[in-house]
A and B are shown apart, each in its own frame.
Chain A
Amino acid sequence: DADVTQTPRNRITKTGKRIMLECSQTKGHDRMYWYRQDPGLGLRLIYYSFDVKDINKGEISDGYSVSRQAQAKFSLSLESAIPNQTALYFCATSDPGLDTGELFFGEGSRLTVL
């Protein structure tokens, strides 16, 4: 089983719908992140959390919200999806003890908004 698990892996939805992407991890890391990946733009940080009580906006947080339900769970919500939120979304974790900057990614959630 993957150490960082994302659900759903693929989702097609319509404009205006509420969508939740879920992430769970078994690595025991405190730090969790949500990135989106678009062709030609690379990975861009949406939100990050360094512990259950800590939530921070990344560079492109507008239109998104997150919830850190437990150390191991970090979910991303699109309250009212729009077509330009069509992208590949990655959840990632990191170990603050090492502070090497290494991120451990989930397998990705491909979202299409029609």
Chain B
Amino acid sequence: QKEVEQNSGPLSVPEGAIASLNCTYSDRGSQSFFWYRQYSGKSPELIMSIYSNGDKEDGRFTAQLNKASQYVSLLIRDSQPSDSATYLCAVKHSNDYKLSFGAGTTVTVRA
């Protein structure tokens, strides 16, 4: 079992719709969770971090964390063509400084 798994995609959504991305992790002691966005041919950049159970909102992005279910998600509201990218879920292990990444979910927003 991979440490961090994401829904494989690709995910295609119409402009203005909600894109929902899911991620599960295996290390129950993980404390920190991140979403990175990677445009084609570019390097990943951090867009969201979440540390506590519940929702965290930042503009059109909402991260949701459920540690009991070992599940973290990212919602993109009012999706725009500029949101078309691969989204990487990353988990920071307990007692460790390294991040483990999921394989990524590619999102395409249709105009």
Given contacts A42-B88, A42-B103, A101-B92, contact A31 B97 (CB under 8 A): yes
Which residue of B43, B49, B98, B103 is within 8 Å of A105 (Cβ)?
A: B43
Nearest chain B CB to A83 CB, angstrom units: 21
- With a cutoff of 8 Å between Cβ atoms, the chain B residues found around residue A58 in the complex are 98
Which of chain A's residues has its CB closest to B33's CB?
A101
Secondary structure dominating the interface of B: strand
Which residue of A31, A50, A99, A101 is within 8 Å of B34 (Cβ)?
A: A101
Q: Interface residues of B toward A: which range?
A: 20 to 34
C-alpha gap A42/B101 in the complex (Å): 6
B90 adjacent to chain A (CB < 8 Å): yes
Which of chain A's residues has its CB closest to B89's CB?
A42
In the complex, the 10 A-B pairs of residues with the closest C-beta atoms, listed nearest first = A105-B43, A42-B103, A43-B101, A42-B101, A101-B92, A102-B46, A101-B32, A42-B102, A105-B44, A42-B104
Write the residues of chain B forming the contact surface with A, with a CB cutoff of 8 angstroms: 4, 32, 34, 36, 42-46, 49, 88, 90, 92, 97-104
Write the residues of chain A forming the contact surface with B, with a CB cutoff of 8 angstroms: 31, 33, 35, 40-45, 48, 50, 58, 90, 94, 96, 99-103, 105-108
